[in-house]
Amino acid sequence: MNTFSVILPVWNEEARIQDCLLRIREQSPESEIVVVDGGSSDRTAERAANLAHRIVKLSYPNRGVQLHRGAEASSGEFLLFLHVDCVLPRGWPHILKKNWSDSKELAATVFSIDYGQPKFRYHLIEKVQHLRCRWFQVVYGDHAFCVSREMYDRSGGFPAVPLMEDLAFCHRLRSLGKIKLLPEKVQVSPRRQMKKGPLRNALWNNVLLIQYYLGISPEKLWQLYYNAKL
């Protein structure tokens, strides 16, 4: 059994998928890579074919379903869920192994995030996200969840929803242990922040978050977030 299975939910990411997979293979050649394609209309799956150990194909994008199907298809002792536009810190296998061996009360580990931008507004958003994780144990998927297979199975895993699957997963994990924020940073692409503006994007994310807690369906929120229909 591999120690780590790196699971990537993707949808129309042909421009990024190869670089992402090459980095993973360079940093951890022994780790299993599972790519779950959500019905991409481009060449994402084709470009991943020679670099991933397994490719799972769906006919539609649904990140919760993709993440769960990836977990089911994987064989590793630990599951690391990674977005394709995120870059793991150097030495991440050692970092994760050390944290999991040092603590028996963990439900999951997540990395701190770094948008790689010098402006204060980006640093402010990073700080807010880190505080939210520490205080409320709520974290988005771009922090790169790592869970043991046993913990994933006990929690029930990611729910079959297209958006807010990470928040629902946090809710399931909190009853089982601590979600630990690690000081090492995952480099997160600021592409969405730069498109809308970091503060405006953060505000919009919080509007969606409030709507989610008020009971608006993840399917409806997905349509609002991506301005598309399922």
Closest to 179 measured CA to CA, from 114, 99, 123, 89? 99
**Residue with the larger pLDDT of the pair 193 and 182:** 182
Q: Within a domain: residue 22? A: yes
Average pLDDT over the chain, rounded to whole?
A: 94
The DSSP code sequence of 5-49 is EEEEEESS-TTTHHHHHHHHHHH-TTSEEEEEEE--SSSHHHHHT
Q: Which of 13-22, 174-183, 215-224 has the lowest mean pLDDT?
A: 215-224
Residue with tokens 């399917």: 219
Distance from CA of residue 4 to its chain's centroid?
15
Beta-bridge mates of residue 57 = 37
- pTM confidence score: 0.94
Our count of domains for the chain comes to 1
For residue 226, being part of any structural domain is answered with: no
Q: What is the CATH number of the domain that holds 83?
A: 3.90.550.10
Residue 210 covered by a domain: no
The pLDDT of residue 134 is 96
Helix (H), strand (E) at residue 107: strand 106-114
Model confidence pLDDT, tens digit, residues 96-146: 999 999 877 899 999 999 999 999 999 999 999 999 999 999 999 999 999
Instruction: Look up the domain containing 163 and give its range.
Output: 4-191
End-to-end CA distance of the chain: 36
Domain assignment of residue 184, yes or no = yes
In a domain, 199, yes or no: no
